[in-house]
Amino acid sequence: MTLEELEQIASEAKAVKEKSPRELNVCVAAGCLSLHSDTIKGALEKEVQRTGANCRVRGTGCMGLCSLGPLVSSEPDGLLLKNVAESDAGEIVARLDEAPPERLRCSREQPFFQRQTSIVLENSGRVDPEKIEEYIAADGYQALLHSLTEKAPGQIVQEVSKSGLRGRGGAGYPTGLKWGTVAKTVGVTKYVICNADEGDPGAFMDRSVLESDPHRVLEGMIIAGYAVGASHGYIYVRAEYPLAIKRLGIAIRESRRMGFLGSQICNTKFSFDIEIRIGGGAFVCGEETALIASIEGRRGAPRPRPPFPAQSGLWDMPTLINNVETYANIPTILRRGGEWYASLGSKKSKGTKVFALCGKVKNVGLIEVPMGMTLREIIFEIGGGVPEGHTFKAVQTGGPSGGCIPGQFLDLPVDYESLKEVGSIMGSGGMIVMDDSACMVNVARYFMEFCMSESCGKCIPCRAGTAQMFELLTRMTCGTATPHDLELLEELCDMVSSTSLCGLGQSAPNPVLSTLRYFRDEYTEHIVQKRCRAGVCECGRFAEVSA
Amino acid sequence: MRRHGFARDALIETLHTVQEYFGYLDKPSLKFVAESLRVPLSQAYGVATFYHYFTLKPPGKHTCLVCLGTACYIKGASQLLAVAEESLSVKAGETTIDGNVSLVSARCIGSCSMAPAFIFDGETAGNVNETVLRGKLEGWKD
């Protein structure tokens, strides 16, 4: 494959588009698919065939506003149709040249779409994830070809460093630095791993990226392989994401067919191949050393670091391990330059971040915003605020390792540092909005239950500590706790976070600590007055009965 | 196993395949896999019990999976789980005595936009409420 050949494929795909510019794009990512968007696509295809309309019906990835699905977009006018049903197919095809019926119309002018900046999601909802030609037509694999033929590996690492990209898995380690370390380490073979074990409950960014634009992740991984000198890559995907696994499989096959994977890629000396590894549903496998153990076919138990995977990882070889979203940023960074990327975002956190906005908020879906946007803008402008009749209480970020951020910090700019300052973390990007019907003690208990059952059991602070904390929190929610229990809980939080082996245990107390920090009065209410103001806990019901 | 060249590290992959075909991992199949891949049976058993995805018990005819992710939890999934438990008179993770329905809970199925979400026999259902859930479970009784 040469650059000319690539352009040839791109122009052919564009020519098809020009020949029949009318398109109906049906979202076939997991959200809309579970609302039977595939039958809608079938119905539209049948209708187009029946009427002979000059229109192509395509299946594309996620369009973002999942709560109004199934979504269909019509090109080239860019109209978006919401809540489409199978029975609407006739009307949609018949009125292709006029405005669609009012009940289906979904404005793209609303803040949900206007306030976003798309890099990772730029092709999402626009290309067919199962066709490599469409990705190539959207400038795909250009960055790879240019990198392989024009740049030295060191230059690529430099470009990534310049972009200021930081690990999107949550910890925010500078990506360029990590790549540089792996590139410098000497090893017989080196590996590149993509962490797609999205275990955080309430997060579905990686799933959407893999289902909507899998080639972008592959391209990022191949470039990473070239930059650090690796010959083999693994994508570790959760078994709970069958559609993502299927589309990745197709993408890898297509990519091999085109010669972007395999030996002597694009007539250069560089050879690289990617394999999918399917996880087994263990949250701890999102931790890098546990993930490596799992790829090696063992139980997913973490090990102490150092040595870091960059020095000694998979089969004791230097290993580069990054998140899906990190790799998905790479092609665009190399195409448009590190400086351009660094111009987006805040001072210390560059670029954009994808969030899965869900919970008690009007517009539920997938969003991508520049770093440094405030929580208020994200939740109230893009998200449309909490549904009527309720008030905003807190937003939870970072999953079971993160914390709850109360209303007083709504004007906080979202980046790695500021979220950490208020006791939460960026995490992989789940953002769950809670209203006054949520009890914070119960939320803390929920997360502790999660950490307790997901603890791998290797180190004692995590295995026993989470169980004890869960017990204490349960007592509070049942109304049997004493003030001494609160002291014990705080002591345990400190102990578990400072002595656990891996990230799971170290961050397990975070939800408790953050709720204690901002909603301490709720804890005291549970303990002293045996009252739950949200009416969620048992102790609340008990009080109601006795009153 | 042949596809992975009988490599020891393909243990998890192999167990996935076995479970896909038989629905669960029983003792003979675990033993067979361990011997073929030349890994100790203890390791095969350890892996099979470590990962939540693997099950050592045969599943029921129907499966009702409740998502207990944060978004679903905030929208009342735990109450719905209680409804399902009461209606089937089993706890999460168990199968009814007649082997008809398995009730399973999951950490997060990534369908948070449609919380609370369920998977009935492999088909994801969003925005489930008590009526829908009861209806579905009743429908399986025959």
A198-207: pLDDT as tens digits: 888 888 899 9
Give the mean pLDDT of B71-97. 89
A298-312: pLDDT as tens digits: 999 999 988 999 999
B4 in contact with A at a CB cutoff of 8 Å? no
Q: Among candidates A351, A348, A373, which has minimal Cα distance to A431?
A: A373
In chain A, the percentage of residues whose pLDDT exceeds 70 is 99
A178-193: pLDDT as tens digits: 999 999 999 999 999 9
Of B9, B110, B117, the CB nearest to A241: B110
pLDDT given for residue A546 in this prediction: 43
pLDDT given for residue A305 in this prediction: 86
A283 in contact with B at a CB cutoff of 8 Å? yes
pLDDT given for residue B2 in this prediction: 62
pLDDT given for residue A171 in this prediction: 83
Question: What count of Cα atoms within 13 Å lies in the side-chain half-sphere of residue B116?
Answer: 23
Of A295, A364, A396, the CB nearest to B70: A396
pLDDT given for residue A547 in this prediction: 39
Strand-pair category, A403-406 with A430-435: unpaired
A313 in contact with B at a CB cutoff of 8 Å? no
Dist. CA A508–CA A370, nearest whole Å: 28
pLDDT at A541 over 80: no
Q: Do B16 and A432 touch (CB under 8 A)?
A: no
A200 in contact with B at a CB cutoff of 8 Å? yes
The predicted model scores a pTM of 0.92
Chain A positions touching B39 (Cβ under 8 A) are 297
Calculate the CA B114 to chain-centre distance: 20
The residue among B4, B20, B73, B112 with the most chain A CBs within 10 A of its CB, best to mutate, is: B112
Across A92-106, A236-250, A480-494, least confident range: A92-106
How does the average pLDDT of chain A come out, rounded?
92
pLDDT at B97 over 70: yes
pLDDT at B89 over 80: yes
A536 in contact with B at a CB cutoff of 8 Å? no
Give the angle subtended at the CA of A394 by the CAs of A392 and A399, to the nearest 5°.
140
Dist. CA B56–CA B70, nearest whole Å: 27
Q: Do B109 and A240 touch (CB under 8 A)?
A: yes
In Å, how far is B75's CA from the nearest CA of chain A? 7
Domain locations in chain B? Answer: 8-50, 62-139
More confident position, A544 or A336 = A336
pLDDT at A391 over 90: yes
Dist. CA A367–CA A121, nearest whole Å: 8
pLDDT given for residue A544 in this prediction: 47
Domains of chain A, start order: 17-108 (3.40.30.10), 140-342 (3.40.50.11540), 352-435 (3.10.20.600), 443-546 (1.20.1440.230)
In Å, how far is A172's CA from the nearest CA of chain B? 23
pLDDT given for residue B99 in this prediction: 87
Chain A positions touching B50 (Cβ under 8 A) are 280, 282, 299-300, 456
Q: Map residue B61 onto helix, strand or coil.
A: coil
Hey, which residues 411-440 in chain A have their CB within 8 Å of chain B?
A: 430, 432, 434, 438
A413-428: pLDDT as tens digits: 999 999 999 999 998 8
Question: What count of Cα atoms within 13 Å lies in the side-chain half-sphere of residue A546?
Answer: 9
A246 in contact with B at a CB cutoff of 8 Å? no
Question: Phi then psi for B105, rounded to 5 degrees?
Answer: -115, 150
Using a 10 angstrom Cβ sphere, with 0-12 exposed, 13-18 middle and 19 or more buried, the burial of residue B112 is buried
ipTM of the complex: 0.88
Chain B positions touching A33 (Cβ under 8 A) are 124
Hey, which residues 40-99 in chain B have their CB within 8 Å of chain A?
A: 43, 46-47, 50-54, 68-71, 73-75
pLDDT given for residue B124 in this prediction: 85
pLDDT band at residue A497 using 50, 70 and 90 as cut-offs: very high
Give the mean pLDDT of A206-227. 96
The class that CATH gives domain B62-139 is alpha beta
The DSSP-derived string for A26-68 is EE-SHHHHTTTHHHHHHHHHHHHHHHT-S-EEEEE---S-GGG
Residue A94 CB coordination number (10 Å) = 12
Residue A422 CB coordination number (10 Å) = 19
**Which range, A224-228, A541-545, B15-19, is most confident?**
A224-228
Q: Do A201 and B73 touch (CB under 8 A)?
A: yes
Helix (H) or strand (E) holding A180: helix A175-184
Strand-pair category, A430-435 with A352-359: parallel
pLDDT at A543 over 50: no
Tokens 């925010």 label which residue?
A: A172
A148-169: pLDDT as tens digits: 999 999 999 999 999 999 999 8
pLDDT at B105 over 90: no
Hey, which residues 458-497 in chain A have their CB within 8 Å of chain B?
A: none
